[in-house]
Structure 1
């Protein structure tokens, strides 16, 4: 961002530091996304079709203010998968280096994604019930009272198994989520962990279970707090299902299907590298069904996002429990998967794209606030 160098509100040393950090991040993002896009094109050579000149010009006019030599690959893949040309599709490397860190620029806000404290910040029953916390090696019960090493073996005998054990921070792609079947197994895991949360396993409703019974199938909801009026808006929601996997994360082999505004699935699901599935490969169910109690899901999502301060874009994972109630499972504060909507032809920020673009150009994270 050229504005960083010419900003009058910070000393030269600080401007150079920010510029070097930005260039380093941009280089890293270009490498990562080039590698991913090349994998998509290797698996789906038909997605390589170049953009027509009119679309390419409109796309570059929108996003070149961030940097000129960005790749057209995001829009190429989106167009190929969805059949829709939309220049407002955000290049994934620009989202990573410019958009997300500008909207969520306060590092302390990412603490809101710490799973051991959800039930401190939100009303009981919204998130899974906590059974045990491990915070920097300290064992805490669900009231945050210390559990000694001598007590832990007896303490965990009273849990209702199976239980879920996961890192209480940075759970990328379902990594290290474990479904523990017995106290002896849990005791071994607890003794070798430094940061984790042990929670109840929420039984899911048959309506969502039918897509893939072995996994907890969740809905990822993305929300945006407007830079103009601070109101929270729901951007997109997608159904995530397992696919011969114990979890529904797409990086673990799961599938994602966009949910239309009327609560019905979009007609197909996508795997990690953009492969389309009109029916679930395991159960054969078509991705055309209706998400139950969709209005309740939207209301709960907005309610949660309104309490996540200092964040302008958040992703929530929600499940539909056996009683027919939507529950939140996880708060995602960064590393957002914008392709979930964009590969279905919908720009991540939808009608708010222009206000986000202008805000990020003029209030970029490399500039002083």
Structure 2
């Protein structure tokens, strides 16, 4: 019975993800004429996935979307339904995703990665300052020392920064209101001050790197894709789903010339107020080295999307790791198929499990 229920859940999830792709195409079609896939390319797609015993016919709109957004026809683009429901469970231990993704223990798992300064942790309703249990009153007094705080849900946060708030006037905020908004698991941190070159793009948001890494069976960590996400003028959030833009970063650490929004609309630096093109990302190579070293110690999660800020002192700052539902659309739009030359080995491993 449980197997039947799991299959029904998977069918519903596939339907929703495919519906999302159709919506993306509708949005793209408002801005320009959408080109269909040629019959030859459809055959090429189906032939490629057939060798891995993967039915792909119902996901052809994914390739239509990426063709019209990126101008590229490539069989290695992955449908999100295939990625989320088959590949991600293959690579990441789903039983541990929630625990490993808990923002309150991020510094435990990644002690060698600088992180925002923590003021207070709320873990299952208990309050901690510097990892020591404190009363509600002491926690509240601690918060009163700060003109602004950043509060984040520690577990099961929504994408797009929807469970992140920047709070001022702390004396007007009650403990009950904090728990009402964030539940019994949240973290309170000091606001970051970012590097000048990233601050110049948009000073109202912390503009972060989204970097995808893949841990191969032989222990090598591959950097799959790097992007810079930045908010629009006046916004505190950099996420595309919150109105921000994202731009690809090349292997040398320089931003590309075209940025994109959540629906695949492209912008040049001249078309927006945020000047993002040809920026050399500070400490880019150091950031990649940190990711590779840390990912090797985190082998239960072979696919990670890292959110990294660069502070005023050029230090890479780990904001969070995305383990259970890191969307790949951003990476594929900015830099092409997410697994690139490693797609074959991923799908081959998947075929042995299907």
Question: Fold match, TM over 0.5?
Answer: yes
Measure, in 1, the Cα distance between the counterparts of 2:141 and 2:59. 57
Match of 1:133 among 121, 124, 128: 121
Following the alignment from structure 1 to structure 2, what is the Cα–Cα distance between the partners of residues 185 and 350? 51
* 1:89 counterpart (54, 77, 82): 77
Partner of 2:141: 154
Question: How many Å separate the matches in 2 of 1:168 and 1:40?
Answer: 34
Q: CA deviation at 1:98?
A: 1.1
Deviation of residue 59 (structure 1)? 1.3
Aligned counterparts of 1:106 and 1:39: Cα–Cα separation in 2? 28
Does the residue aligned with 1:239 lie in a helix, a strand or coil? Answer: strand
Secondary structure of 1:119's partner? helix
Aligned equivalent of 2:47: 61
Cα drift, residue 282 of structure 1: 4.8
- Equivalent of 2:229 in 235, 240, 245: 240
Q: 2:151: which partner in 1?
A: 165
Give the Å deviation of 1:300.
Answer: 1.4
Does the Cα contact within 8 Å between 1:315 and 1:331 map onto a contact in 2? yes
Q: How does 1:314-329 map to 2 (within 5 A)?
A: 314-329=304-319
Q: Does 1:221 align with 2:211?
A: yes
**Residue 336 of structure 2 is aligned to residue 336 of structure 1:** no
Look up the SS of the partner of 2:133 in the other structure: coil
Instruction: After TM superposition, give the deviation of residue 281 of structure 1 in Å.
Output: 5.5
Measure, in 2, the Cα distance between the counterparts of 1:232 and 1:22: 32
**Separation (CA, whole Å) in 2 of partners of 1:284 and 1:147:** 43
Residue 189 of structure 2 is matched in structure 1 by 199
The corresponding residue for 1:98 is: 86
Q: Does 1:48 align with 2:34?
A: yes
Q: Which moved more, 1:351-360 or 1:54-63?
A: 54-63
- More moved, 40-49 vs 206-215: 40-49
**Bigger strand fraction:** 2
- For residue 177 of structure 1, the aligned residue among 164, 177, 189 is 164
Matched residues in 1 for 2:147 and 2:260: separation?
Answer: 33
Asked if residue 230 in structure 1 is aligned to residue 215 in structure 2, the reply is no
8 A Cα contact 1:165 1:196, kept in partner: yes
Q: Indicate the SS of the match to 1:127.
A: coil
Deviation at 1:257, TM superposition (A): 0.8
Cα gap change, 1:43 to 1:84, in 2 (>3 Å): closer
* Cα-to-partner distance string for 1:17-67 (whole Å, 9 max, x where unaligned): 435413431332222332343243234354631112222212122335233
Stretches of structure 1 that go unaligned for 5 or more consecutive residues are 1-15, 365-369
CA separation of 1:20/1:155 partners in 2, compared to 1, >3 Å: closer, same or farther? closer
Contact 1:109 1:309 survives alignment (8 Å): no
Taking a change above 3 Å as real, the CA distance of residues 341 and 35 of structure 1, as seen in their structure-2 partners, is: closer
Going from structure 1 to structure 2, the CA distance change for 1:286 and 1:316 (only over 3 Å counts) comes to closer
Task: Give the gaps of 5 or more residues in structure 2.
Answer: none
TM normalised by structure 2 equals 0.90
**1:218 to partner: Cα distance:** 0.1
Q: How much has 1:186 moved relative to structure 2?
A: 4.7
> SS state of the match for residue 146, structure 1?
strand
Q: Number of paired residues?
A: 346
- Residue 99 of structure 1, CA deviation: 1.1
C-alpha distance in 1, partners of 2:88/2:172?
A: 39
Q: Partner residue of 2:108?
A: 120
CA change 1:72–1:325 in 2 (3 A) is: same
Partner of 1:70: 58
Q: Is the 8 A contact 1:116 1:197 kept in 2?
A: yes
Q: TM-score, normalised by structure 1?
A: 0.87
- CA-atom RMSD, angstroms? 2.1
1:268 alignment partner, SS class? strand
Contact 2:304 / 2:321 at 8 angstroms: preserved in 1? yes
